[in-house]
């Protein structure tokens, strides 16, 4: 009876443009060697991420989007120094709406706290969000148009979003694109899936040193990977192993140094002075576990995480 009640409550709203929602995601990865440019030193980056997305039905056309994401990156920010952990925790609060058979929208606010969490203050709090308009062309193809924006330690960062979701008639070949932030192309082989994905975004973290001015890390992240996925429990649990290349670069700047505006891969009014050597990219290995809820319904939820 409890299971039936839960299913009845979730039925109208746990639907994305892909006819599923990834309710829970867990990931752990590590790069193997990131060299500091023009030095003989190198480091590696350990990453951990966990995220939850939980829509709450309001009526047949609208649902609240709630959830949270947490991440931890551990690395050396300067050559021959101790490893530093950089944390980010954000809430997700938004509204998913269906306006007609073809058009739907998702608007989500993303407040977050990002720093080394040593001396948390209001300076570590940032506010962002995204809005996506979706057009359903047919049962196999849907388009996305949107905008992502966030206030960071280096200033305002924003990027337009253009993408599409395509599922072949035999439901084996899948494309899930939200460019320039993310892309995922996969082919299902029964209980296994092979695929390639990409994720790129800018973030910042305040870093506090004892008896020294506060700095911040400006992370420019581009990750390209191929993966092998195991689909278990009727494809509700996905176990994924990824191998790829990461161009993660953690540039360090003094607190208060900002650019005028960042738009996608471009920056305007950037005359900041970088305090550490740039990091080279490196090969990385990552493992992910996903709990996916499959359903068909009316409301579409964009459950893409941008952190």
Distance CA 68, CA 58 (A): 20
Q: Are 116 and 205 within 8 A, CB to CB? A: yes
Element (H, E) at 219: strand 215-232
Distance CA 68, CA 91 (A): 4
Per-residue pLDDT of the chain (307 residues; tens, 9 = 90+): 333 333 333 333 333 445 678 999 999 999 998 999 999 999 999 999 999 999 888 998 999 999 999 999 999 999 999 999 999 999 999 999 999 999 999 999 999 999 999 989 999 999 999 999 999 999 899 999 999 999 999 999 999 999 999 999 999 999 999 999 999 999 999 899 999 999 987 899 999 988 888 999 999 889 999 999 999 998 899 999 999 999 889 999 999 999 988 887 677 888 999 999 999 999 999 999 999 987 655 455 555 555 5
Q: Are 86 and 112 within 8 A, CB to CB? A: no
Residue 225, classified by CB atoms within 10 Å of its CB into exposed (0-12), middle (13-18) or buried (19+), is buried
Tokens of 99: 């306006």
CA 107 to chain centre: 16
Question: Tell me, what's the pLDDT at 194?
Answer: 98
Tokens of 139: 């049962």
Terminal Cα distance for the chain, rounded = 37
Distance CA 41, CA 36 (A): 6
pTM value is: 0.88
Tokens of 40: 């003989």
Q: Are 240 and 228 within 8 A, CB to CB? A: yes
Tokens 């940032």 locate to: 126
Which residue ranges form the domains of the chain, and what is each CATH number? 2-294 (2.40.160.40)
Question: Tell me, what's the pLDDT at 220?
Answer: 87
Question: Tell me, what's the pLDDT at 267?
Answer: 78
Question: Tell me, what's the pLDDT at 60?
Answer: 86
Question: Tell me, what's the pLDDT at 16?
Answer: 42
């Amino acid at each position: 009876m409890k299971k039936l009640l839960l299913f009845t409550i979730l039925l109208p709203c746990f639907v994305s443009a892909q006819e599923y929602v990834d309710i829970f995601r867990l990931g752990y990865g590590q790069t193997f060697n990131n060299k500091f440019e023009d030095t003989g030193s190198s480091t590696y980056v350990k990453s951990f991420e966990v995220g939850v997305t939980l829509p709450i039905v309001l009526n047949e056309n609208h649902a609240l989007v709630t959830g949270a994401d947490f991440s931890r990156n551990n690395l050396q920010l300067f050559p021959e120094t101790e490893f530093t952990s950089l944390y980010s925790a954000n809430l997700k609060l938004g509204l998913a709406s269906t306006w007609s058979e073809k058009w739907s929208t998702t608007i989500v606010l993303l407040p977050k706290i990002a720093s080394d969490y040593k001396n948390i203050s209001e300076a570590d709090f940032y506010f962002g969000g995204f809005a996506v308009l979706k057009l359903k062309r047919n049962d196999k193809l849907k388009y996305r148009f949107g905008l992502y924006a966030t206030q960071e330690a280096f200033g305002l960062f924003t990027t337009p979003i253009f993408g599409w979701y395509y599922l072949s008639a035999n439901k084996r070949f899948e494309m899930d694109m939200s460019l320039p932030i993310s892309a995922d192309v996969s082919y299902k082989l029964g209980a296994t899936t092979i695929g390639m994905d990409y994720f790129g975004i800018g973030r910042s973290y305040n870093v506090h040193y004892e008896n020294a001015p506060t700095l911040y890390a400006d992370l420019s992240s581009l990750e390209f990977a191929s993966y092998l996925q195991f689909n278990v429990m009727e494809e509700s649990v996905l176990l994924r192993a990824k191998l790829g290349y990461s161009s993660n670069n953690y540039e360090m700047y003094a607190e208060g140094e900002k650019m005028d505006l960042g738009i996608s891969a471009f920056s305007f009014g950037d005359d900041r002075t970088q305090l550490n050597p740039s990091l080279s990219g490196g090969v990385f290995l990552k493992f992910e576990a996903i709990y996916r809820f499959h359903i068909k319904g009316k409301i579409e939820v964009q459950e893409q995480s941008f952190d």
